[in-house]
Amino acid sequence: MTLGSAFLWGVAHVATDRRKTGFALMVTHVLLLAVIITAVTAFGTQVLALAVQPFWLTTLSVALAVLALVWSAVIVRSFVLVRPEPANTAGRVLSATFTAGLCALVLAPTAYAARLAYLSHDVVDSIFTAEMTPIVADDPWNGAARINFLLIGADSAPGRPGVRTDSVTVASVDTATGDTTLFGLPRNLEQVQLPRGPARQRFPNGFSGDGPDTPGLLNEIFQYAEDYPEMVPGVRHGQRGPALLKQTVSDILGIPVKYYAMVDMKGFAQIIDAMGGVKVTIKQPIVYGKYREGHLAAGTRKLSGQEALWFGRSRTDSDDYVRMGRQKCLLYAVAKQADPVTVLNSFEKLAAATKRAISTDIPKNLLPPLIELSDKVKDARIRSLSFVPPLINTASPDWGLIRAKVTKALADRPAVRRPGHPKAPTTAQGYDRPIALDAACH
């Protein structure tokens, strides 16, 4: 009876003629289970949206603790009602131990769920910014047809001062459908026009670097802004680089870049490990390491964090532009494979790695609509357009051509490849229209 009461409240109460209490407990238990099952299955996205709000995370932690205590109390009370008088002390100890074990089975998962809620609260508070501007529930994007995010892969190394943004990508997301186009800018773009104001005044003919020892490439702008506060007046340390790079990239592409997210490359490897690896298709063997200490064989395989890092970083026997194509495929693979089960199974590791590796200016109150948008992105077509040779001469870029290509790419509807239709080009080099990453990366 005690075991039965653990699975359905009130069984022991009914058996001992406490029918009103027993039936009330049964109805309460069934309603609780129905609400939980319905919320998870039918309103999964909305539940996830609540799970990134500190208030609701705190509420969830308290609710889970209360539920665990009530459930344990029902088990103990059921045992007290139905237990027979034991013939000896051993019987009394065994029955009490059995009841305590049932309570532990109830308390353990609820305690773990409460801990996940606490960790989520900590991640949200640590990474995302506080924003007082209210979000309109019916139109969180303020009527924008697309929202553009700057995705930065940052790399720092011994002997190299500061941070170099070796991976610069803008994800332009359709707010209605989730269709996404990734625009890749090579790290070695030269003569980059900086935004009007102090930055343009210092470099009227395009960014030329910090003295004769720096070549003046796109990947240096972030750190330059951090080193020279006057480039972005009124912006605090740590945000000057993102602010200047966002505006610079926005001017290059001709679209407003609203938010950024930057991941440290070594931290990215930790995130991949926390996911249990990422499956990618390697079209040609990839040699990695300054002294060619290893290689990734061709084929479809699951990569560890370190292997994924080399997949996205290696330029041995290739170049920056091939590497850019692999980086887009890696982003695509992570986006498609980060399913809820994987995230939950590795949540603690993911939370720790994320706090160390990621910085962003996305506000906390935008997270619920962003969760809903990301759900659309997972089911939508992701395309990529990189501004690399021969389309763009990185030493003397045609800025007008770049903006024209962006405008055309966003105006074109993604083509759906029918059975028997030729695949999209699979090379990362030289195309002048977006390619579908599901075709290019598999």
115 shares its domain with 196: no
Surface-to-core class of residue 143, CB atoms within 10 Å of its CB (0-12 exposed, 13-18 middle, 19+ buried): exposed
324 shares its domain with 184: yes
pLDDT value of residue 156: 61
Checking if the pLDDT of 430 tops 50, the result is no
In a domain, 332, yes or no: yes
123 shares its domain with 155: no
- Please answer whether residues 144 and 152 qualify as being in contact, where contact means their C-beta atoms are separated by less than 8 angstroms: no
Domain end call among 127, 158, 175: 127
In a domain, 229, yes or no: yes
Q: Which range (389-393, 400-404, 422-426) has the least confidence?
A: 422-426
283 shares its domain with 402: yes
91 shares its domain with 152: no
**Distance between CA 128 and CA 125 in Å, rounded?**
6
In a domain, 139, yes or no: no
Q: Which range (60-74, 124-138, 284-298, 417-431) has the least confidence?
A: 417-431
Output the CA angle 407-408-414, nearest 5 degrees: 120
274 shares its domain with 396: yes
Give the best-scoring range by mean pLDDT among 9-13, 118-122, 139-143.
Answer: 9-13
290 shares its domain with 432: yes
280 shares its domain with 195: yes
In a domain, 134, yes or no: no
In a domain, 133, yes or no: no
In a domain, 136, yes or no: no
**Distance between CA 162 and CA 152 in Å, rounded?**
15
pLDDT digits (tens, 9 = 90+) for 355-394: 888 899 998 888 888 888 888 888 888 898 999 889 999 9
- Please answer whether residues 19 and 11 qualify as being in contact, where contact means their C-beta atoms are separated by less than 8 angstroms: no
Average pLDDT score over residue span 96-116:
87
Average pLDDT score over residue span 237-242:
92
- Please answer whether residues 157 and 135 qualify as being in contact, where contact means their C-beta atoms are separated by less than 8 angstroms: no
Give bridge partners of residue 224 from the DSSP assignment: none
> Within 13 Å, how many C-alpha atoms sit on residue 91's CB side?
6
Count up the domains in the chain and report the number.
Answer: 2
Output the CA angle 167-173-177, nearest 5 degrees: 150
Give the number of other CB atoms < 10 A from CB of residue 230: 11
Checking if the pLDDT of 326 tops 80, the result is yes
In a domain, 61, yes or no: yes
358 shares its domain with 281: yes
The three-state secondary structure class of 363 is strand
181 shares its domain with 152: yes
**Distance between CA 229 and CA 223 in Å, rounded?**
11
Residue type, 178: G
The three-state secondary structure class of 70 is helix
Q: How many residues does the chain have?
A: 442
pLDDT value of residue 405: 95
Place of tokens 């309109």: 136
The DSSP 8-state label assigned to residue 73 in this structure reads: H
The alpha carbon of 96 is separated from its chain's Cα centroid by a whole number of angstroms, namely 46
**Distance between CA 151 and CA 330 in Å, rounded?**
13
pLDDT value of residue 421: 40
Reported pTM: 0.76
CATH of the domain at 341: 3.40.630.190
Checking if the pLDDT of 339 tops 70, the result is no
Does residue 390 have a cis bond before it (omega within 30 degrees)?
Answer: yes
b/e 111-134 (16+ beta carbons within 10 angstroms → b): eebbebbebbbebbeebbeeeeee
Domain end call among 127, 154, 171: 127
169 shares its domain with 296: yes
Checking if the pLDDT of 340 tops 70, the result is no
- Please answer whether residues 191 and 205 qualify as being in contact, where contact means their C-beta atoms are separated by less than 8 angstroms: yes
Residue type, 49: A
Percent of the chain with pLDDT over 90: 39
Checking if the pLDDT of 183 tops 90, the result is yes
In a domain, 141, yes or no: no
pLDDT value of residue 20: 94
Domain end call among 127, 158, 173: 127
The dihedrals phi and psi of 281, each to the nearest 5 degrees, come to -105, 120
Average pLDDT score over residue span 99-122:
86
Range of the domain at 43: 2-127
106 shares its domain with 219: no
pLDDT value of residue 265: 77
